[in-house]
Structure 1
Amino acid sequence: MAVASTSLASQLSGPKSVSSYSGLRRSCSKLDHTQSLSLFQHLHSQLRLSSSSRKASRGVVAMAGTGKFFVGGNWKCNGTKDSISKLVSDLNSAKLEADVDVVVAPPFLYIDQVKNSLTDRIEISGQNSWVGKGGAFTGEISVEQLKDIGATWVILGHSERRHVIGEDDQFIGKKAAYALNEGLGVIACIGEKLEEREAGKTFDICFQQLKAFADAVPSWDNIVIAYEPVWAIGTGKVASPEQAQEVHVAVRDWLKKNVSPEVASKTRIIYGGSVNGGNSAELAKKEDIDGFLVGGASLKGPEFATIINSVTAKKVAA
């Protein structure tokens, strides 16, 4: 699908029609609003992956994918022993909805502290891992070490690793393959920079990053895809629910066409980028948003619990 591109400022403010959620591809930039709307509706109808057979009933989580709602907290390079003890205490005392997989990714040197004090209700993730077996790789952490200390997931391909550290798509794909082969689940991050969105390249960038994972991984069974538009990470600028949904639909369609319909249906596609307790419920209502990868707000126990519990926004009456 392609619709006419608009500036980010207009995308982030005011009422929006379908044609304003663009920054995706310019190939159909001359389409008028009616044609754009028709195209979007046609694409949407083709992407529901037999949704008619999954009609929601009261109390059932309604998602285009069939996986459980997933919320990850990426603590990044934040925290001390004391602040993390407080955060863990807040999480241990929080009432969390049962039908959500919850994962937190502390800084490496605090994983042991968190693992030994955090409720088993919440799993542990690494923020990164090496591309192969450990050895003479100063400053890195191996998959084997993460498993040894109790981690069950690892975040790979985060924009900060891509654009600050300089990791490329193929290297990230190889990291994912190794982690999966060794038994870790992978939170596979994709997303475009601001200039790429404004140039109409959102889909191109996301699909390129997806292909690098698809070319390398042995299976999609333990992969969660995190769509994180780089322009929304830590900036306070959140993709609107419609903008996020539009990309999530396209990602699921890419999986359907390039991997398999089964993988497209069962792979969870979560959103990340300035998610907080105030916007998570509206984002969660979108059919193809299967959860969140949360940065700054995951450092605040009560707010992170609110985001986890936004799964209730997905529960719909028949």
Structure 2
Amino acid sequence: MRRKLAAGNWKMNGTRAALAEIAAMAEAAKGGAEVLICPPATLLAEAAQNEAGVAIGGQDCHAKPSGAHTGDLAADMLHDAGARYVILGHSERRQDHDEHNEDVRDKTRAAWDAGLTAIVCVGESLAERDAQNTLDIIGGQLAGSIPDGATGHSLVVAYEPIWAIGTGKVPTLDQIGDVHDFIRARLERRFGAGVGRSVRLLYGGSVKPSNAAEIFAVSNVDGALVGGASLKAADFVPIIQALNASTD
């Protein structure tokens, strides 16, 4: 059985005072689903020292283990600071930093070498959705962004339609299910049924307490990658609780 995962991406938000929010999420993290928070790098080490059952992850890493890369973080550095996961290929990185599939693939390989689980993000734009190119886009991102040798331990895939991130717009449940079923089939075809069925698939994009339960009931949705609603325990705990309930 795949363990459900509620992952929070804090993006460029949070100072040390925000660490209290992670502590407030700890009780909900005892409910069966795994809970992960990816804070900004300035908080990562302290958050990991006091995680109290909440896993901690990074938001990006460099493909190289060291070197003259001012401002970047190597995967080994994240691991040394206490991270267990790292988010890679998020649409904001692909757009704002011009990252391509091959960049994500190289970073994923570096994350694996450092002992981190990579959460590889895929998703289409609104124009691509309207042109009915969603599955072609997702298929290309999966093929190009994930290296050979994936396992259910080393890889999580997050489907985040770009047009739904932070907009309040959410795909229909059928649209979410179609993409997640497609991703599952592609993973099984490439890596074999055992590995393909063991990789957790997260949905991300305007997930909130009011819609979490219905999203978690969709085929092949093993959890969520949550942005703004993960910043406060009052918002994230109900999402975690909905995911815990979906495992019953």
The bucket for the TM-score relative to the shorter chain is: over 0.9
1:72 aligned to 2:7?
yes
Correspondence for 1:106 among 39, 44, 57: 39
Contact residue 245 and residue 287 of structure 1 kept, 8 A: yes
Contact residue 157 and residue 200 of structure 2 kept, 8 A: yes
Contact residue 180 and residue 219 of structure 2 kept, 8 A: no
Q: How many residues align?
A: 247
In structure 2, what is the Cα distance between the partners aligned to 1:85 and 1:174? 31
Structure showing greater Rg: 1
Query: Unpaired runs of 5+ in structure 2?
Result: none
Q: How far is the alpha carbon of 1:192 from its aligned partner?
A: 0.4
Query: Unpaired runs of 5+ in structure 1?
Result: 1-65
Q: How far is the alpha carbon of 1:185 from its aligned partner?
A: 0.5
Correspondence for 1:181 among 113, 116, 125: 113
Contact residue 180 and residue 218 of structure 1 kept, 8 A: no
- For residue 53 of structure 1, what is the aligned residue in structure 2? none
SS in 2 for 1:251: helix
Q: How far does the alpha carbon of each residue in 1:153-186 deviate from its partner, in whole angstroms, 9 at most, with x for none?
A: 1000000000111100011011101111221111
SS in 1 for 2:207: coil
Amino acid in the other structure paired with 1:244? I
Equivalent positions of 1:88-103 (< 5 A) are: 88-92=22-26, 94-103=27-36
Q: How far is the alpha carbon of 1:118 from its aligned partner?
A: 2.8
Equivalent positions of 1:225-304 (< 5 A) are: 225-304=157-236
TM-score (norm 1): 0.74
- For residue 210 of structure 1, what is the aligned residue in structure 2? 142
Q: How far is the alpha carbon of 1:312 from its aligned partner?
A: 4.1
Q: Residues 85 and 102 from structure 1, CA distance in 2 versus in 1: closer, same or farther, beyond 3 angstroms?
A: closer
Q: How far is the alpha carbon of 1:97 from its aligned partner?
A: 4.7
Q: Residues 184 and 312 from structure 1, CA distance in 2 versus in 1: closer, same or farther, beyond 3 angstroms?
A: closer
SS in 2 for 1:147: helix
